[in-house]
Amino acid sequence: MSQYIHGSSQDEQERLEIQHGLIGGKAFLPPLTAKMWVLDVGCGTGIVAREISPSVELGKVIGIDIQEKQINRAIQRANKEGLSNVKFQIGKARCLEFLDETFDVVYCRFLLEHVSSPLSVIREMIRVTKQGGLIIACECKVDCCSATMPSLPHVKSALNALYKLQTMNGGNPHIGEKLGNLFQEAGLIDIKEDILISSLETPDQIKQYAMGGSRLLKASERELLKNGLLSQEALNQAYGEWEKFSVIPQAKASFKLCRVQGIRPEK
């Protein structure tokens, strides 16, 4: 696992929840049935796992994440919502602590871009999936966080620096476009790829989008400066663009996500 450059501060947790509200939670998943066992790999604060809980009321949803702060928040939220069929625990994506063929569905979202060996993670996800079960991965498409009208050149430059930082830490911000090939290499069948687009146009959506983008940079500001990837002036220009964009009439933005799913073949 490479370093998750965004951290697990309260601001980052709130950013993830803002993002969730803009792109939807379980929108990237197929319909689930009541008795399914589902694993959320790299669950963060458990947003998606909690949302799908009612769909598998006779089954189980388990979320794992390497960061204790994320798991603690996920547990607190699940307890507050009275969800009895959801469990969260600390775990590593490359070494899942579950028996072979345990789950009907195993998915990850915004995880593979942060790992140094995505193929090994996918193979581990396959190991714990039942024969005939479904594996799903969803990642950002290139520049999905700067797809705005009007364009934001300082923001785009700052995000490119953030992508360089992520690459330096062993991740791959452009992994979304490689998901299909990775699924094929891992031996999955019936692979389907598509692009999910969330269009944002209302003033509230634009304000939240800009707030999330600003917090995304803020979380890595120290490392960006330390590694000489951005100057404080460049960061301030990006923050200023986000602030102005949040109140521009008729401003538009979108999230573009790469989704791929495949089936574990039967022996």
Residue 84: CA count within 13 A, CB half-sphere: 2
The yes-or-no verdict on residue 6 having pLDDT over 70 is no
Whether 197 is covered by a domain: the verdict is: yes
User: What is the tally of structural domains in the chain?
Assistant: 1
Whether 1 is covered by a domain: the verdict is: no
3-state SS, residue 207: helix
Whether 107 is covered by a domain: the verdict is: yes
Q: To the nearest whole number, what is the mean pLDDT of the chain? A: 91
Residue 99: CA count within 13 A, CB half-sphere: 3
List pLDDT tens digits, range 64-123.
999 999 999 999 999 999 999 999 999 999 999 999 999 999 999 999 999 989 999 999
The yes-or-no verdict on residue 126 having pLDDT over 90 is yes
Whether 157 is covered by a domain: the verdict is: yes
Q: Nearest CA to 55 among 74, 81, 75, 35?
A: 35
Whether 2 is covered by a domain: the verdict is: no
Question: Phi and psi for 110 in degrees, rounded to 5?
Answer: 60, 35
Q: Which domain holds residue 157?
A: 10-263
Whether 115 is covered by a domain: the verdict is: yes
Output the domain CATH number for residue 152. Answer: 3.40.50.150
**Inter-residue contact 256 to 195 (CB < 8 Å):** yes
List pLDDT tens digits, range 190-221.
999 999 988 999 999 999 899 888 988 888 99
Whether 5 is covered by a domain: the verdict is: no
pLDDT of amino acid 41? 98
